[in-house]
Amino acid sequence: GQQVMQIPQYQHVQEGEDFTTYCNSSTTLSNIQWYKQRPGGHPVFLIQLVKSGEVKKQKRLTFQFGEAKKNSSLHITATQTTDVGTYFCAGRQTGANNLFFGTGTRLTVIP
């Protein structure tokens, strides 16, 4: 079955440092989405990537979809305390109905 792994599982950074989380799928994906979940909250949609090699930016966040459409990354430049939370990737296997969520990366930002 499809598996979506993320590394690292946890990341502690000083405020102002950069942060990157990586997402790897065992199968080729038709698209990949990224969600953020604040402590005690629910997942909130950030972005969707569809094309091979696609790169999208949202202010300090940069999202990338791999050429083979099996991996993705999220990079945050100059982290702020508001970036705290768990970041999940979620991939849809080609032809499948549903999303498989990754294991998540929990980000802590030390002020």
Partner 1 sequence: EAGVAQSPRYKIIEKRQSVAFWCNPISGHATLYWYQQILGQGPKLLIQFQNNGVVDDSQLPKDRFSAERLKGVDSTLKIQPAKLEDSAVYLCASRSSGTTDTQYFGPGTRLTVL
Give the footprint of partner 1 on this chain (CB under 8 A): 4, 31, 33, 41-45, 48, 88, 90, 92, 97-104
Least spacing, CB of residue 78 vs partner 1, in Å: 27
Of 51 and 80, CB closest to partner 1? 51
Tokens of 51: 């094309």
Least Å distance, CB 106 to partner 1, is 8
> Residues 6 or more apart from 42 whose CB is under 8 A from it?
none
- Of 70, 98, 44, the C-alpha closest to 61 is 44
Residue with tokens 């300090």: 60
Element housing 15 (H / E): none
Between strands 10-14 and 105-110, the pairing is: parallel
3 vs 81 by CB, closer to partner 1:
3
Nearer to partner 1, 66 or 102 (CB): 102
Taking the least distance from each CB to partner 1, the nearer of 31 and 64 is: 31
